Structure 1
């Protein structure tokens, strides 16, 4: 799935905070604190993945508009006539 400009900026901002957390988790694993390190790595991964998967109230109008446009506008190859073969 291609990211738009704003989505790329949002991902970059998220990575600014998630990467140091991930590095700390890796350091903890190397130092022998495996449980803490893995837990911190999971938190870092969730910081990146959850905003992409969860729907927030800000996302609802865009999703509704996409569905409305998709139901009204047909793709260039589609036809409403089924008799054309």
Structure 2
């Protein structure tokens, strides 16, 4: 999984919000509240997973630009194959 600078910053921002929720879920699981702990843990995990899988309107121009750059400019590795 190659992440660019913007993707890395976006993932870090998502983790800032998802980690406290997941940690609360783990704390609740340890305390014996399995339903509440499982729900919080699931929400925290889903925040990160959905960020990777769901395409937002902001992602469309970026993916189009990556395809155009990939077809126009070839790297040295692409020319050798």
Q: TM over 0.5: same fold? A: yes
| Structure richer in helix, relative to its length | 2
| Residue 55 of structure 2 is aligned to residue 77 of structure 1 | no
Instruction: Tell me the C-alpha RMSD between the 2 structures.
Output: 1.7
Aligned residue in 2 for 1:34 = 34
| TM-score relative to the length of structure 1 | 0.76
Provide structure 2 residue ranges, at least 5 long, that are not aligned to the other structure.
none
| Residue 16 of structure 2 is aligned to residue 16 of structure 1 | yes
- The count of aligned residue pairs is 78
| TM-score relative to the length of structure 2 | 0.79
Larger radius of gyration: 1
Structure possessing the higher relative contact order (Cα contacts under 8 Å, 6 or more residues apart): 2
Structure 1 residue 76: Cα displacement: 0.9
